[in-house]
């Protein structure tokens, strides 16, 4: 299964659909659009793609303009063009303008799949090194959010875009993946940061109080309403309200939310006047809202209003590369809190952390480290001191994806420097030791590359070419 998100831009329906299916079959996340205009719209609305595959010749906005939009967005997204015979010279020009590759019609699916795979590999490698270089890490840094997997990097990228907008945001992910943490980051890095951040778990509100808690009520609205009460939307005035477990809202509440999203007004229960409130909604859920819409539990029109920008946080088991960093982060924090002496996890303990499936995600990891540290008596914490719910030996057997070589490799906890070194070696080998090419691919200067090669004493399999040809 391949990893990555692709946008296919092609005005011929049959062609576009067959490409979308071909990419989907490989495991990619794919979206298809029928025009250059639509493509540019998606690119501008905070959609993050690894690759854009676009037809060159289209009415109005053509492939070259799509390419330009991608490059202007200053993203690392790669572009592969589809050209017809006779437009090859334009395609060559496009490569000069930054496209990764082109395929000529008619082509076999195999051909475009290969080009796409290579383009995405390049994009991810580039992101990785830029991240390690600190450029992306600093650009998308949020206090207290740890993670350097590609998946987390995408999450942080969208998050930082979202901070600059006023859009409604939907944060999805399993329990304990960090939805609230991300929502907080959005609020505290937005122009609303000096306003209140109000969190409400819609699933925890008694049904009969849901509307009055959110929108307030007037005196006498129901038995027990002895005075006017301000709702949470008003309390979040000039700030942000996080509606957690949004899927648990009642139909009547959903109508009110929709009205608010349409014209910014709410009406307290029992009141006859609408009140304008300036509050930004961030919604979160760990259930599948699309399914809730299908089954009629959640209003479709409200779903569309909420799902303007989606931040999906993948479960921890799908981004195991983040585990060592998280372990280190939590260990340090907990040692400080408990005022304990130095503690480290044994190699077997790390191995277990990397292999366990973490159904409770980061919260579970955090709790486990806290308990292990609290109970530990000596400096090295062994695997048998970790309160796993199943014996460690059973992980592999229980796991849906038994250990493969890739995962075994990732058990070796590498430092950032080692990761950087490996990325450089990988690129050098791939491009036959050509430093100019490698520095371009990695998005660093040839001098920086040269410095790093010396620093890490890298000797590539290929002789590193010293004649830098720029
Ligand atoms: N990337 C991360 N880096 C550091 N800490 C994290 C990260 N993600 C989550 N956490 C921590 O894990 C815990 C759970 O996160 P959070 O409450 O945001 O999850 P959630 O998705 O809202 O969970 P639930 O669905 O159960 O409400 C928190 O203590 C949070 O600070
Ligand atoms: Mg939460």
Every domain of the chain and the residues it spans: 5-132, 151-312, 317-411, 416-455
Least confident stretch, 184-193, 271-280, 303-312, 342-351? 342-351
CATH number of the domain at 151-312, out of 1.10.150.120, 3.20.20.70, 3.40.50.300, 3.40.50.150?
A: 3.40.50.300
pLDDT of residue 444: 79
65 Cα–ligand 1 center, Å: 40
Residue 213 has pLDDT above 90, yes or no: yes
- Residue 77 Cβ inside 6 Å of ligand 1? The answer reads no
- Residue 178 Cβ inside 6 Å of ligand 1? The answer reads yes
Least confident stretch, 44-48, 90-94, 226-230? 44-48
460 compared with 378, residue with greater pLDDT: 378
Ligand 1 atom closest to Cα of 178?
18
- Residue 362 Cβ inside 6 Å of ligand 1? The answer reads yes
414 Cα–ligand 1 center, Å: 24
362 Cα–ligand 2 center, Å: 12
Whole-model pTM: value is: 0.64
300 Cα–ligand 2 center, Å: 23
Residue 145: name the closest of 184, 94, 104, 191 by CA. Answer: 184
pLDDT of residue 137: 59
Ligand 1 atom closest to Cα of 144?
4
Residue 73: name the closest of 92, 95, 101, 98 by CA. Answer: 98
pLDDT of residue 414: 46
Q: Are strands 101-104 and 51-55 parallel, antiparallel or unpaired?
A: unpaired
Which CATH code fits 317-411? Answer: 1.10.8.60
pLDDT of residue 398: 46
Ligand 1 atom closest to Cα of 182?
18
Our measurement of the distance from residue 430's CA atom to the centroid of its chain's CA atoms, rounded to an integer in Å, reads 28
Q: Which ligand minimizes its atom distance to the CA of 176? A: 1
Residue 439 to residue 446: CA distance in whole angstroms: 5
pLDDT band at 180 (very low <50, low <70, confident <90, very high): very high
Ligand 1 atom closest to Cα of 286?
25
Mean pLDDT, to the nearest integer, of 403-418? 48
Q: Which ligand minimizes its atom distance to the CA of 180? A: 1
- Residue 314 Cβ inside 6 Å of ligand 1? The answer reads no
Residue 45 has pLDDT above 60, yes or no: yes
User: Domain 5-132 is of which CATH architecture?
Assistant: 3-Layer(aba) Sandwich (3.40)
- Residue 65 Cβ inside 6 Å of ligand 1? The answer reads no
Q: Are both 5-132 and 151-312 of the same fold?
A: yes
202 Cα–ligand 2 center, Å: 11
Residue 194 has pLDDT above 50, yes or no: yes
Rg (CA), the chain: 26
176 Cα–ligand 2 center, Å: 7
Ligand 1 atom closest to Cα of 171?
21
Q: 3-class secondary structure for the chain?
A: CCCCEEEEECCCHHHHHHHHHHHHHCCCEEEEECCHHHHHHHHHCCCCCCEEEEECCCCCCCHHHHHHHHHHCCCCCEEEEEECCCCHHHHHHHHHCCCCEEEECCCCHHHHHHHHHHHHHHHHHHHHHHHHCCHHHHHCCCCCCCCCCHHHHHHHHHHHHHHCCCCCEEEECCCCCCHHHHHHHHHHCCCCCCCCEEEEEHHHCCHHHHHHHHHCECCCCCCCCCCCECCHHHHCCCCEEEEECHHHCCHHHHHHHHHHHHHCEECCECCCCCEECCCEEEEEECCCHHHHHHCCCCCHHHHHHHCCEEEECCCHHHCCCHHHHHHHHHHHHHHHHHCCCCCEECHHHHHHHHHCCCCCHHHHHHHHHHHHHHHCCCCEECHHHCCCCCCCCHHHHHCCCCCCHHHHHHHCCCCHHHHHHHHHHHHHHHCCCEHHHHHHHHCCCHHHHHHHHHHCCCCCCCCCECCCCC
pLDDT of residue 136: 60
- Residue 179 Cβ inside 6 Å of ligand 1? The answer reads yes
Residues in the chain: 470
202 Cα–ligand 1 center, Å: 18
pLDDT mean across residues, the chain: 87
Ligand 1 atom closest to Cα of 313?
21
Residue 105 has pLDDT above 60, yes or no: yes
- Residue 366 Cβ inside 6 Å of ligand 1? The answer reads yes
Residue with tokens 């080998």: 429
Tokens of 409: 């490799």
- Residue 437 Cβ inside 6 Å of ligand 1? The answer reads no
Q: Which ligand minimizes its atom distance to the CA of 313? A: 1
179 Cα–ligand 2 center, Å: 6
**Is the CATH number of domain 416-455 1.10.10.60?**
yes
């Amino acid at each position: 299964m391949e990893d990555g998100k692709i946008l296919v831009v092609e005005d011929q329906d049959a062609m576009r659909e067959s490409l979308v299916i071909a990419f989907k079959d490989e495991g990619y996340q794919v979206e298809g659009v029928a025009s250059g205009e639509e493509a540019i719209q998606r690119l501008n609305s905070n959609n993050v793609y690894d690759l854009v595959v676009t037809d060159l010749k289209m009415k109005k906005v053509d492939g070259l303009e799509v390419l330009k939009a991608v490059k202007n967005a200053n993203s690392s997204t790669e572009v592969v063009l589809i050209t017809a015979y006779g437009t090859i010279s334009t395609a060559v020009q496009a490569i000069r303008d930054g496209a990764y590759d082109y395929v000529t019609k008619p082509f076999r699916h195999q051909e475009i799949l290969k080009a796409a795979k290579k383009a995405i590999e390049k994009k991810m490698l580039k992101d990785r090194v830029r991240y390690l270089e600190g450029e992306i890490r600093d650009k998308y840094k949020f206090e207290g959010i740890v993670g350097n997997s590609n998946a987390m990097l995408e999450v942080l990228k969208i998050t930082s875009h979202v901070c600059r907008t006023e859009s409604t945001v939907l944060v999805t992910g399993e329990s304990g993946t960090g939805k609230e943490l991300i929502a907080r980051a959005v609020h505290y890095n937005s122009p609303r940061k000096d306003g209140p951040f109000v969190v409400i778990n819609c699933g925890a509100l008694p049904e009969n109080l849901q509307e009055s808690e959110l929108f307030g009520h007037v005196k006498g609205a129901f038995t027990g309403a002895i005075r006017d009460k301000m709702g949470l939307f008003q309390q979040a005035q000039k700030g942000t309200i996080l509606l957690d477990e949004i899927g648990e809202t009642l139909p009547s509440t959903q109508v009110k939310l929709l009205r608010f999203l349409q014209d910014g007004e709410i009406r307290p229960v029992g009141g006859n006047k609408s009140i304008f409130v300036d509050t930004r909604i961030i919604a979160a859920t760990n259930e599948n809202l699309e399914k809730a819409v299908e089954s009629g539990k959640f209003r479709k029109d409200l779903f569309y209003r909420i799902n303007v920008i989606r931040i999906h946080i993948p479960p921890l088991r799908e981004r195991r590369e983040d585990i060592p960093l998280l372990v280190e982060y939590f260990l340090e924090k907990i040692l400080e809190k408990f005022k304990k002496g130095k503690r480290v996890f044994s190699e077997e303990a790390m191995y277990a952390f990397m292999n366990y499936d973490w159904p409770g995600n980061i919260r579970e990891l955090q709790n486990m480290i806290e308990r292990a540290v609290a109970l530990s008596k000596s400096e090295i914490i062994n695997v048998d001191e970790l309160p796993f719910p199943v014996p460690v030996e059973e992980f592999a057997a229980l796991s849906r994806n038994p250990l493969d070589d890739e995962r075994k490799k990732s058990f070796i906890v590498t430092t950032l420097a080692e990761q950087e070194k490996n990325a450089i070696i990988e690129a050098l080998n791939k491009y036959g030791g050509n430093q100019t090419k490698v520095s371009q691919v990695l998005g660093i200067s040839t001098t920086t590359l040269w410095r790093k090669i010396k620093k890490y004493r890298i000797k590539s399999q290929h002789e590193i070419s010293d004649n830098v040809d720029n």
